[in-house]
A and B are shown apart, each in its own frame.
Chain A
Amino acid sequence: NAGVTQTPKFQVLKTGQSMTLQCAQDMNHNSMYWYRQDPGMGLRLIYYSASEGTTDKGEVPNGYNVSRLNKREFSLRLESAAPSQTSVYFCATRRQGSTTNYGYTFGSGTRLTVV
Chain B
Amino acid sequence: AQSVTQPDIHITVSEGASLELRCNYSYGATPYLFWYVQSPGQGLQLLLKYFSGDTLVQGIKGFEAEFKRSQSSFNLRKPSVHWSDAAEYFCAVDTPAGGSQGNLIFGKGTKLSVKP
Give A contacts to B, CB under 8 Å. Answer: 30-31, 33, 35, 40-45, 48, 50-51, 58, 90, 92, 94, 96, 99, 102-104, 106-109
Q: How many residues of B contact A (CB 8 A)?
A: 24
Are A42 and B109 in touch, CB under 8 angstroms?
A: yes
Residue from the list A40, A43, A106 in contact with B9, Cβ < 8 A = A40
Q: Tell whether, in the assembled complex, residue A103 and residue B102 are in contact, meaning their CB atoms are under 8 Å apart.
A: no
A41, B105: Cα distance in complex, Å: 12
Give 5 new A-B contacts, CB below 8 A, not counting A30-B100, A42-B106.
A31-B100, A40-B9, A41-B108, A43-B90, A90-B44
Q: How far is the CB of A64 from chain B (nearest CB, A)?
A: 16
- Please indicate the chain B residues that have their CB under 8 angstroms from the CB of A35 in the complex: 106
Q: Is the CB of A50 within 8 A of B52?
A: no
Q: Are A102 and B98 in contact (CB under 8 A)?
A: yes
**B46 beta carbon closer than 8 Å to chain A:** yes
* Smallest CB gap from B32: residue in A: A102
Give Cα A45–Cα B105 distance, bound, in whole angstroms. 7
**Interface residues, chain B, CB within 8 Å of chain A?**
6, 9, 32, 34, 42-44, 46, 49, 51-52, 90, 92, 98, 100-109
Knowing A42-B90, A42-B108, A43-B106 are in contact, say whether A103-B46 is a contact too (CB < 8 A).
Answer: yes
Residues of B within 8 A of A96 (CB): 98, 100, 102
List chain A residues, Cβ under 8 A from B108: 40-42
Question: Which of A41, A44, A58, A106 makes the CB contact (< 8 A) with B44?
Answer: A106
In the assembled complex, the CB of B29 is this many whole angstroms from the nearest CB of chain A, namely 15
Beta-carbon contact of B101 and A104 below 8 Å: no
A96 to B102, CA, bound (A): 10
Bound: A109/B109 CA distance, A: 17
Bound Cα distance A44, B98 (Å): 20
Cross-chain contact B102 with A90 (CB below 8 angstroms):
no
A43 CA to B93 CA, complexed, in Å: 12
Tell me, rounded to whole Å, the shortest Cβ–Cβ distance linking A78 to chain B.
21
Contact of B51 (CB < 8 Å), options: A45, A99, A107: A99
| Of A50, A51, A92, the contact of B104 (CB 8 Å cutoff) | A92
Contact of B43 among A33, A42, A48, A90 (CB under 8 A): A90
Query: Are B100 and A42 touching (Cβ within 8 A)?
Result: no
